[in-house]
A and B are shown apart, each in its own frame.
Chain A
Amino acid sequence: MTAGRRHRARTAAIALIVFAAFMHLLAWSMVGPYANAGADKPTLVTMTGCLLLSGSLLLSQAMESVTRAFYTRSDLDLILASPISPRKVFSVRIARIAGSVALIAMLLASPFINVLVLLGGARWLAAYGVVAAMGAVAAAFAVALTVALFRLIGPKRTRLIAQIVAAVIGAAFVIGLQVVAILSYGSLSRLAPLQSKWLIAHAPGLDSAMWLPARAVLGDAGALTMVTAASLVILGLAVAVFSVRFGDHATAALGVSQTVVRQRSRGFRRRSPGAALRHKEWTLLLRDPWLVSQSLMQILYLLPPALMLWLSFGESGTALVVVVPVVVMAAGQLAGGLAWLSISGEDAPDLVATAPIASRRIIVAKVEAVIGGIAIVFAPLVAALGFVSPLAAMVCGLGVLIAAASATQIQLCFRVQARRSQFRRRQTSSRIATFAEAFSSIGWAGAAVLAASGSWLALFPAVIALGVLGGVRLVSPRNS
């Protein structure tokens, strides 16, 4: 996490404490008012909606983990050649996926649960149990869904389709709520539809089993027991049914790499070294399955603001400021991944390093490829925004470029020599870089929305984002 330098361990620890404190403060502002909520219908409806929203994200995460377990060779040969029953090994593997999904979920939910415990009492500790149960169920469904894809469309297509399905599942529920909120209430708030009188009136009665998870979160011991038992049964069933043939599916998945993909042929095109580098980066990015799923997810998350934009066409555009931070955040997130693939994920480092081109020029070409890619993806939305509010479009466009440039700069500071296939490990190989990217994107998104509103307070989040970049330069391995 500290890229190998001890003296940065202290800095990283302090940064983590600050981040945890910030998250708890944020949680305080969001869930503090609900700490003493009871099991009335509006609360149960809202709680259940939030659990479904979280569940879809957990399912998405679990599908990513299961897909990785199928398509990574690592120790598969050793397992299948050993005297240990593959069924036992893969049972443990599925259980481990469930465990890791649940652990991550509990970690992310911990600020909110801790605040509720502090303000509303120990009953809220039951929420940890519900989150863990949701992780187990998500893993079970993820295994079932992936195996179903295997049997329906075969291992060759499952890899990409599973990633796309994971992205869509993760985004669909969230976006669906936002779309309903926009159409009904003109707001991007995901909770608006959950608090509607229509929904509360038409929801099942208080004694419905549908509210069991929500009751469990609110501290009902009986409900918690039933939810936990049900999740263990579901996970147990998944392990019993799918562990038997897990090894067969994983072996079939490894054969996918032997398939032939042909490209259209055309003659050599004359290019300068910089243009050749950019073209290579763009070609590889376009053919990267991660990029397909991530771009789809970013585009899906942009649908609600695009819908809001379309609905507001012709109006003053003041309501459109909510579109700006969403777009800027999306740009920052996407740019971070593209930058890692271009800068650190160089599969032929010796070739590039021995080419007759200055090393600085190589880096410039890779950065151009990233920023150019971001510009191509986000230009249409910014242009559409310009028809409604030129100021918002200008601020949004600038915010997109600055967020993308910041994410790229962070990747430059923490660049490593890795293969593109190791992309999924990027967030664990340097957590400082991961957090810095997130904070930077949030800072620039905050600055953009305030600037688009015409407020001078935009300076504060901008200064914070710049501070993040400055801190990154100080702690980066390249400065040691």
Chain B
Amino acid sequence: MGQPARPIALATRGLCKRYDRPAVDNLDLTIYGGEFYSLLGPNGAGKTTTLRMVAGLLKPDAGSIAIDGIDALADPVAAKQITAWLSDEPMIYDRLTPFEYLEFVAGLWRIDATVAERSANELLEWLGLAAHAHERCEGFSKGMRQKVALAGALVHNPKVIILDEPLTGLDAGSARQVKNVLKERVAAGGTVIMTTHILEVAERMADRIGVIAHGRLIAEGTLEELRRMTGKDQVLGAASLEDTFLALVGDAPAVAAE
């Protein structure tokens, strides 16, 4: 008997977005439920554009996006109900406290107040923000603000969590807390899709890695599979993700200038 089909958390087909040149070019991406997926690529490859389209912040020029089977373009509200987005720049309200911010997010996602409050207190505890729960965010450091934003992304228990370089500017302690919370979410059945330039994080945390260059997915798989794709696994041996990544993007054809 065959293996049961893995649930698909995110599927994009023929996804396109163009500015002066193609930013995302016929992208087909499949990410499975319960997976920690890391999306890598050089600057300007189309990672953020792709994720912003998935999160509903940008309209694609063509293609489809399905989140847990929901057509995100036809029914964006239903898709957003099970999705969370966290950008690299933590956007929170300076004059709200973390507690008030999480209450606001819970209201937007129609989460039961009692359940949301319990979840909020747990998250603030895990992220080391419990002592600051009732202080206005205006005095917070970058790391604290990012953790508040992350708590906001998680308080409504999303199925799919999309993060764009969430560890940028965080100190080691804050980064460790964020990584632990994300690992816990994946262990509980959630799906995490993350872009990062810190390849060691992707190497240690990701179940699968996708490499984007010039708006196209040029490689995808586990770290071992990516090493084999470069054809240099015999030469490089247990090459790091950095070596593998550089080998892959170095070979990627550029889009012809128009």
The residues of B that contact A358 with a CB separation of less than 8 Å are: 77
Residue in chain A with minimal CB distance to B90: A348
B100 → chain A, closest Cβ, in Å?
7
CA gap between A269 and B107 in the complex, in Å: 8
Evaluate whether A348 and B56 lie within 8 angstroms (CB atoms) in the complex, with A257-B138, A357-B108 already known.
no
Tell me if B105 counts as interface (CB < 8 A to partner A).
yes
From B5-13, B79-87, B176-184, the one touching the partner chain is: B79-87
B95 touches A287 (CB 8 A): yes
Closest 9 CB pairs of A and B: A276-B107, A356-B81, A268-B117, A355-B108, A356-B80, A270-B113, A268-B113, A271-B107, A348-B91
Q: CB of B135 within 8 A of chain A?
A: yes
- Contact between A269 and B113 (Cβ–Cβ < 8 Å)? yes
**A471 in contact (CB, < 8 A):** no
- Say whether A356 contacts B77, CB under 8 Å: yes
8 Å CB interface, B101-141 against A: 102-110, 112-114, 116-117, 120, 133-136, 138-139
Q: Which residues of B contact A258 (CB under 8 A)?
A: 139
Report whether A267 and B117 are in contact in the complex, using a CB–CB cutoff of 8 Å: yes
* A272 contacts B107, C-beta separation under 8 Å: yes
Cα A275 to Cα B107 in complex, Å, equals 8
Q: How far is the CB of A443 from chain B (nearest CB, A)?
A: 34
A 289-325 to B, binary, CB cutoff 8 A, 1 in contact else 0: 0000000000000000000000000000000000000
The answer to whether B152 touches A351 (Cβ under 8 A) is: yes
Given A263-B100, A276-B104: A356 and B135 interface contact (C-beta under 8 Å) = no
**B93/A261 in contact, CB under 8 A:** no
A284-B93, A353-B57, A358-B77 known; A273-B139 Cβ under 8 A: no
Contacts of B102 in A (CB 8 A): 268
Known A-B contacts A275-B107, A283-B100; the reply to A354 vs B85 at CB < 8 A is yes
Q: Do A356 and B100 have beta carbons less than 8 Å apart? A: no
Binding site for B on A (CB under 8 A): 257-265, 267-273, 275-277, 279-280, 283-284, 287-288, 347-358, 420-421
Given A263-B134, A353-B57: A347 in contact with B94 (beta carbons within 8 A):
yes
Contact of B109 among A270, A288, A355 (CB under 8 A): A355
Q: A421 to B55, alpha carbons, bound, how many Å?
A: 27
- Across-interface contacts of A279 in B (CB, < 8 A): 104, 107
Answer yes or no: B252 CB below 8 A from chain A CBs: no
Query: B36 in the interface, Cβ–Cβ < 8 Å?
Result: no
- The minimal Cβ–Cβ distance linking A268 to chain B, given in whole angstroms, is 4
Tally of chain B residues near chain A (CB < 8 A): 42
Expressed in whole angstroms, the Cα–Cα distance for A273 and B136 within the complex equals 22
Give chain A residues whose Cβ lies under 8 Å from the Cβ of B93. 280, 284, 347-348
Do residues A353 and B56 form an inter-chain contact, with CB atoms below 8 A?
A: yes
User: Of A257, A275, A351, which contacts B105 at CB under 8 A?
Assistant: A351
Determine the residue in chain B with the shortest Cβ distance to A421.
B94
Shortest distance from the beta carbon of B118 to any chain A beta carbon, whole Å: 9
Which residues of A are found within 8 Å of B112, using beta-carbon distances? 270
Look across to chain B and name the residue whose beta carbon is closest to the beta carbon of A270: B113
Asked if B26 is at the interface of the complex by the 8 Å CB criterion, the answer is: no
B97 interface hit (Cβ, 8 Å): yes
Asked if A283 and B110 make an inter-chain contact with CB atoms under 8 angstroms apart, the answer reads: no
The docked-state distance in angstroms from the alpha carbon of A267 to that of B56 is: 31
Most chain B C-beta atoms within 10 Å of own C-beta, residue among A275, A280, A354:
A354
Q: How far is the CA of A349 from the CA of B52 in the complex (A)?
A: 13
Report Cα–Cα, A272/B222, bound state, in Å.
42
CA distance A353 to B107 in the complex (A): 14
Contact yes or no, A263 B108, CB < 8 A: no
B92 at interface (Cβ–Cβ under 8 A)?
A: yes
For the complex, what is the distance from the CA of A347 to the CA of B81, rounded to whole Å?
21
For the complex, give the distance between the alpha carbons of A284 and B94 in Å: 9
A268 touching B139 in the complex, CB below 8 Å, given contacts A276-B104, A277-B108, A280-B93: no
Also in contact, A350 and B78, with CB within 8 A (given A259-B139, A283-B95, A356-B109) = no
Q: Which residue of A lies closest to B112 (CB)?
A: A270
Residue B170 lies at the interface, judged by CB distance under 8 Å to chain A: no
Is B96's beta carbon under 8 Å from chain A?
A: yes
Contact of B96 among A268, A283, A356 (CB under 8 A): A283
- Distance (Å) between the CB of B65 and the closest chain A CB? 13
Instruction: Give Cα distance in the complex from A356 to B108, angstroms.
Output: 7
A276-B108 contact, Cβ under 8 Å, with A347-B92, A354-B80, A354-B85: yes
Does B99 reach chain A (CB closer than 8 Å)? yes
**CA distance in complex: A280, B107 (Å):** 10
The CA-CA distance from A350 to B77 in the complex, in Å, is 14
Minimum distance in angstroms from A347 CB to a CB of chain B = 5
Query: Is A284's CB under 8 angstroms from B81's CB?
Result: no
How many Å lie between the Cα of A421 and that of B93 in the bound state? 11
Please state if B56 and A273 are interface contacts (CB–CB under 8 Å).
no
List the A residue with the shortest CB-CB distance to B133: A265
Q: A265-B133, A357-B108 are in contact. List 13 more A-B contacts (CB 8 A).
A: A258-B139, A261-B139, A263-B135, A268-B117, A272-B107, A283-B100, A349-B91, A350-B55, A352-B108, A353-B56, A354-B55, A356-B110, A420-B94
Question: How far is B136's CA from A19's CA once the two chains are assembled, in angstroms?
Answer: 44
Residue of B nearest to A359 (CB): B76
Chain B residue numbers with a CB within 8 Å of A350 are 55, 57, 85, 87, 91
Contact of A354 among B83, B95, B116, B135 (CB under 8 A): B83
Chain B residue nearest to A259 in the complex (CB) = B139
The complex places the Cα of A258 from the Cα of B116 at a distance, in Å, of 29
B-side contacts of A356, CB under 8 Å: 77-78, 80-81, 108-110
Contact of B104 among A261, A272, A280, A354 (CB under 8 A): A280
**Mask for B37-69, Cβ within 8 A of A = 1, else 0?**
000000000000000000111000000000000
Is B106 a contact partner of A348 (Cβ separation < 8 A)? no
Nearest-CB residue, chain A, relative to B80 = A356
